[in-house]
């Protein structure tokens, strides 16, 4: 029987933060979602991971059901949020798992707070190469992103946005869970969500590709690090995963076959198995 997942809210430096948690024992796992997403993305693997660990999956500020202040959503701001969140829930040391934007934030945190990180997991992470699909980088163009926000806040625009994201983020868009599509539609119509999404995209990208690339910093990491990648990721090429893993002192690579940018949603069994295998080695 799968472990029950609780939804909670906590004040983190003045911001109401929703998070999911499950499990009782084992090294804490903190799961950080990607841009234009929420902690719901982890719900396909969270109960399984909670069988052996205490798991926490927060909504970043600006996303999901957390507060959405009118501000810049830079990786630096989100890294500070992670610092404050861990302090608020009393975690001194954990395994940090980040997907896409969450991976970039996790990587920055590990480089700055290595003593708090037992292990690091980068899932189709930003910051490991310059190339990115033009479907995302075009939002950095002046006025284009703002025009898309206006359209995507309408019911029809929110639905079209959800379906377009499914086509880009999954290897098999026709099999995307209805719950995931509904969450994307719901969030698009929430005040402040698309503005936060655009702000965070522009902090990571320019019209030519990724602007925050940390490949040269990877050899500094002392902790075991797993790089997990969907082999058919259209957002970031799997070559970025292979290059990143080769630069890590304790690097491990897991390519998830027939999978796009969100392996924890599209291939949850394979993702959970790869992560559990890695964590078993960390524990030993």
Q: What is 166-201 written as a DSSP string?
A: HHHH-S-GGG--HHHHHHHHHHHTSTTHHHHHHHHH
Which two structure tokens, joined as six digits, stand for 34? 């990607």
Closest CA to 73 of 85, 81, 65: 81
Rounded to an integer, the average pLDDT of 68-77 is: 96
For residue 227, pLDDT over 80 is answered with yes
In angstroms, rounded to a whole number, what is the distance separating the alpha carbons of residues 89 and 183? 26
For residue 1, pLDDT over 60 is answered with no
For residue 283, pLDDT over 90 is answered with no
Rounded to an integer, the average pLDDT of 62-91 is: 97
Rounded to an integer, the average pLDDT of 118-142 is: 94
Asked if residue 181 lies in contact with residue 166, where contact means CB atoms within 8 angstroms, the answer is yes
Rounded to an integer, the average pLDDT of 19-44 is: 95
Band of pLDDT at residue 251, cut at 50, 70 and 90: very high
Which two structure tokens, joined as six digits, stand for 107? 């990587």
Band of pLDDT at residue 2, cut at 50, 70 and 90: low
Q: How far is CA 141 from CA 66, 152, 158, 203, in A?
A: 27, 17, 21, 13
Asked if residue 194 lies in contact with residue 150, where contact means CB atoms within 8 angstroms, the answer is no
pLDDT, mean over the chain: 95
Rounded to an integer, the average pLDDT of 202-231 is: 96
The pLDDT tens digits of the residues spanning 98-122 come to 999 999 999 999 999 999 999 999 9
Band of pLDDT at residue 10, cut at 50, 70 and 90: very high
Q: What is the CA radius of gyration of the chain?
A: 17
Tell me the CATH class for 6-131+211-283: alpha beta
Band of pLDDT at residue 284, cut at 50, 70 and 90: low
Between 97-111, 142-156, 259-273, the lowest mean confidence (pLDDT) is in: 142-156
- The pLDDT, as a whole number, for residue 25 is 80
Rounded to an integer, the average pLDDT of 89-96 is: 96
Rounded to an integer, the average pLDDT of 65-81 is: 97
- The pLDDT, as a whole number, for residue 282 is 83
- The pLDDT, as a whole number, for residue 24 is 84
- The pLDDT, as a whole number, for residue 4 is 87
Band of pLDDT at residue 58, cut at 50, 70 and 90: very high
Q: How far is CA 265 from CA 6, 37, 142, 153, in A?
A: 19, 12, 32, 24
In angstroms, rounded to a whole number, what is the distance separating the alpha carbons of residues 100 and 150? 25
């Amino acid at each position: 029987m799968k472990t029950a997942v609780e939804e909670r809210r906590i004040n983190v430096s003045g911001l109401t933060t929703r998070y999911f948690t499950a499990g009782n024992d084992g090294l804490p796992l903190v799961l950080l979602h990607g841009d234009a997403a929420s902690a719901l993305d982890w719900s396909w693997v969270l109960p399984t991971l909670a069988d052996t660990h205490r798991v926490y999956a927060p909504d970043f500020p600006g996303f999901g059901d957390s507060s959405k202040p009118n501000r810049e959503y830079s990786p630096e701001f989100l890294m500070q949020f992670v610092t404050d969140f861990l302090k608020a829930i009393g975690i001194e040391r954990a395994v940090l798992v980040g997907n896409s934007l969450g991976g970039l934030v996790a990587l920055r945190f590990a480089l700055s707070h290595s003593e708090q990180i037992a292990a690091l997991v980068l899932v189709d992470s930003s910051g490991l190469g310059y190339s990115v699909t033009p479907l995302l980088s075009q939002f950095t163009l002046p006025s284009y992103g703002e025009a898309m926000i206006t359209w995507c806040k309408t019911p029809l625009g929110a639905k079209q946005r959800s379906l377009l994201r499914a086509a880009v983020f999954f290897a098999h868009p026709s099999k995307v869970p209805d719950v995931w599509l509904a969450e994307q539609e719901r969030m698009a119509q929430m005040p402040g969500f698309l503005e936060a999404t655009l702000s965070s995209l522009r902090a990571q990208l320019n019209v030519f590709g990724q602007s925050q690339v940390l490949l040269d910093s990877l050899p500094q990491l002392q902790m075991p690090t797993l790089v997990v990648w969907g082999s058919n990721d259209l957002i970031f090429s799997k070559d970025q995963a292979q290059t990143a893993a080769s630069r890590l002192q304790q690097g491990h690579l897991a390519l998830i076959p027939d999978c796009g940018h969100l392996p924890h949603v599209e291939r949850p069994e394979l993702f959970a198995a790869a992560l559990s295998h890695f964590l078993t080695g960390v524990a030993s």
